[in-house]
């Protein structure tokens, strides 16, 4: 299993997310992937605008968790999200072979009155 939080800026406003590297886990164990942003994530309606995606080889990214903690419909309950401000985690419990993928966090920020997205 691999996780990735590559940095990407839009416009000229600076915000970035960390890229901690590979995470490995035994089958049946739990794996935790972290995402730390350089600035606090935007909050809308009480929900942090931080989303987690899974991308398997040869496939398009699939939304797993939205607004930091909400599981997308059809996603296994083995996936859960937590965190606030600039520190977030994706936890995969009972890791299965099909969980081998790249995992992305995508965040939204307001900087100088501009909406900025990082991935």
pLDDT tens per residue across all 119 residues of the chain: 544 443 333 333 334 444 556 788 899 999 999 999 888 988 989 999 999 999 999 999 999 999 999 999 999 999 999 999 999 999 999 999 999 999 999 998 766 555 655 65
pTM of the predicted model, to two decimals? Answer: 0.78
User: Which residue segments constitute the domains of the chain, with CATH numbers given?
Assistant: 2-118 (2.60.40.10)
Q: What is the pLDDT of residue 42?
A: 87
Per the document, the length of the chain is 119
Q: Is residue 64 within 8 Å of residue 71, measured between CB atoms?
A: yes
Q: What is the pLDDT of residue 25?
A: 87
Q: Is residue 13 within 8 Å of residue 112, measured between CB atoms?
A: yes
């Amino acid at each position: 299993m691999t996780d990735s939080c590559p940095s990407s800026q839009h416009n000229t406003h600076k915000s970035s997310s960390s890229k901690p590297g590979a995470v490995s886990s035994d089958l049946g164990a739990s794996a935790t992937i972290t995402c730390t942003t350089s600035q606090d994530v935007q909050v809308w309606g009480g929900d942090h605008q931080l989303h987690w995606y899974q991308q398997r080889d040869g496939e398009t990214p699939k939304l797993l968790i939205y607004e930091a903690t909400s599981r997308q419909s059809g996603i296994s309950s083995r996936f859960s999200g937590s965190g606030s401000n600039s520190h977030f985690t994706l936890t995969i419990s009972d890791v299965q072979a099909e969980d081998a993928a790249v995992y992305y966090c995508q965040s939204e920020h307001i900087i100088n009155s501009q909406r900025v997205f990082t991935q």
